[in-house]
A and B are shown apart, each in its own frame.
Chain A
Amino acid sequence: MDFFNLLEKLTEADGVSGDENAVCEIIAAEFPDCKTTINNGNLVVNLNEINPQKKTVLIDAHIDRIGFIVTQITENGFLRVGNIGKTDMRILPASRVFVGKKRLPGIICTKPPHLFDKDAKPLEISDILIDIGMDKASSEREISVGDRVLLHEKCTRLADDIVAASALDNRAGAAAVILAGKNILAGNFDKYNVVLLFSSCEEVTERGAIIGAFNINPDIALVVDVTFAKTHGENELCGRTRGGVMVGFSASLDADLSREIMTVAKKEKIPIQVEVMPQKTGTNADVITISRGGVRASTLSIPIKFMHTQSETVSLFDIEKTALLITKFCEE
């Protein structure tokens, strides 16, 4: 199965938190025969008609990406910005960005050696200036305060099945849920009502998941997101790239559900890894589990390297196996 094109389409899309509608449209087009609803930056896809006699499974993947928001145009025509989500500030100097809906290219300013300060503190967002190559008058004509800024590099294949892209957090998860949704539609699934939630604003306030879980009112939720893959400097808790999806165990998750998922994986011979998150998960599961009387939830996390940089890397194998596991769970 080659779904690189799907992943490329998803990772090339805008959708900094609070501005997800374009991504919703792209994903809705993948489900022409299903009821789809877009509101609050969320896309809800009902794979079947809700039968009140059946339990409802919510499969969530957030579709927002980290970025910046323009707060000010300076005397010299540069842009000052605020953070949306937790960007890795180390990547910023001399990075290329795209500003606004027209995607005007910009470069993040970096000081030349003669201005280096030995005792310099780590960069803060208030230090950041974006150079869009314009004077103040031109910048004011082209840019509005409130415009979103993307940290963006293209989606590229590396060796084997490894893909480098921006916003793999969590377009990789979204791709897995889209693939799963299509698999489920193509097979038999009588057991559950299955609802896909492509949620907004996970990176800031988890608003999309809070609203989506309330409206869908599920019994069970599978939250599909990304997690840390082992690479140089990372510790042993991280997942292995191409080791399969990580099933979450956490005080805030439903351990029986996680074990049920592992049983399915074992039966279907789908590779998995275990991810232990002692208290909360840092994913949408944290808010979905406490929605409307509570929801039994587990996390399915795809290991990626270099999270929250413009060059995250992921294995297509891991995405595909995540989709397969979700499919088999819903069919069981």
Chain B
Amino acid sequence: MNIKLLEDLCNLYGGSGDERAVRDFIYEKIKPYADEISIDNLGNLVVLKKSKQKSSVKIALTAHMDEVSFIVTSFRHDGTLKFAPVGGVNADSVLGRRVVVNGHSGVIGAKAIHNMTEAEQKAPAKFDDFSIDIGCLKPVDAEKIVSLGDRVYFEKNFISFGNNMIASKAIDDRFGCAVLMSLMEKDLPCDVTFAFLTQEEIGCRGAKAAVLDADFAIVVETTTAADFDGVDDDKKCTKIGNGAVISYMDRGTIYDKNLFEICKKTADENNIKWQTKTIIAGGNDASALALKDGGIRTCAISIPCRYLHTANCVSSISDMEAVENLTQKMILAIANLK
């Protein structure tokens, strides 16, 4: 796993519908390895890499470029900004976070805990009660540097920590982008379309729009791990350190049974650690790909990731290596299918 590449990707700002910075970065890096590059009207970056070997199998690898973010919805009287989430961010995990608004630093704040009534303290957190302070004390000052509709991002914060672990705002799914970029540099057994997709976090819209011309798709993603104390084993979904997650079903997709079996077998044959989810949860671009163009046979290979859709997603490098490795081996396995 190229950790420096992952760090660079995670530290970019690119929310749904605003993926330009990520796309431009990827475009520059992959240009030397691409045979055909297209950017469609939804911002999807679709790259064909041809194989030296002759194979009639057409495979697409996909990862999404967008991260969860926020959008400025109005100016408050005290010069702070009202905002709303873009993607599935929970209001419970944003207060106190550092953010970037149109290049300006800010913080997410609310009424001080000391001044809240007991009833207020017990009520669930709501975005409407929060504000972004960018240091302006009047709306007229804020309007000079921020516009309604400007995007708000968790500030870049990539770190390596603990035993071989990574924390960052955007592992979901810059990790997948990093895997695709690395595999593109390798010799491949068949023509592969590398699709860097947009707008996954607001309903897999990039995947729905993209033109891929593929019989098979592998979605490289992140998925929930709740593997901490106090969570029953059957509710943990996945565990950090237990390897690549091969999906059989989630809330968006029932995966191609045959591909699922091939994926497990390929992992075993190559001594790659793998696991499946213990619950039906989450979803990804497979939900759109499986319905496209008369149906693309799709599998998903993911890393387990703690605290998804927060400023600090946490994953293990060993799991990342397992996913990268298994994805490469799956291209070969699928290429040999016919």
Interface residues of A (CB under 8 A from B): 74-76, 78, 86, 88-91, 93-96, 104-107, 109-115, 121-122, 129, 131-135, 138, 151, 153-154, 156-162, 164, 228, 230-235, 238, 241-242, 305-311, 313
* Apart from A93-B93, A162-B137, A241-B137, 11 more pairs, CB < 8 Å: A91-B96, A109-B306, A114-B235, A157-B135, A159-B104, A164-B105, A164-B133, A164-B135, A242-B137, A308-B113, A311-B98
Best-buried of B134, B137, B167 by chain A (most CB within 10 Å)? B137
Contact B97 A234 (CB under 8 A): no
A158 to B231, CA, bound (A): 40
Residue contact B92 to A110, C-beta cutoff 8 Å: yes
Instruction: Tell me the interface secondary structure of chain A in the complex.
Output: loop
- Return the chain B residue nearest A153 by Cβ: B98
A94 contacts B307, CB within 8 Å? yes
Q: In the complex, what residues of B have CB within 8 A of residue A91's CB?
A: 95-96
CA distance A158 to B312 in the complex (A): 22
Q: Is B269 an interface residue (CB 8 A)?
A: no
Contact pick for A110, options B93, B113, B133, B279, CB 8 Å: B93
Asked whether, in the complex, the Cβ of B167 is within 8 Å of the Cβ of A105, the reply is: yes
Tell me how many residue pairs across A and B have CB atoms closer than 8 Å.
197
Question: Which chain B residues lie closer than 8 Å to A161 at the CB level?
Answer: 135
Q: Contact: B112 with A88, CB < 8 Å? A: yes
A121→B124 CA distance, assembly (Å):
9
Selected contact of B136 from candidates A86, A154, A159, A311, CB within 8 Å: A159
CA distance A91 to B121 in the complex (A): 12
- A311 & B109 in contact (Cβ 8 Å cutoff): yes
Cβ contacts B190-229/A at 8 Å (1 or 0 each): 0000000000000000000000000000000000101111
Contact A306 B96 (CB under 8 A): yes
Indicate whether B165 reaches chain A with its CB closer than 8 angstroms: yes
Complex interface: chain A residues within 8 A of B141 (CB): 159-160
- Whether a CB of chain A sits under 8 angstroms from the CB of B129 is yes
Provide the residues of chain A in CB contact with B224, threshold 8 Å: 112, 114
List the A residue with the shortest CB-CB distance to B91. A90
Q: Point out which of A156, A231, A305 has the most chain B C-beta atoms below 10 A from its C-beta.
A: A231
Complex CA distance for A308 and B113, rounded to whole angstroms: 8
Contact between chains at A107 and B167 (CB < 8 Å): yes
* Complexed CA–CA distance, A277 and B141 (Å): 32
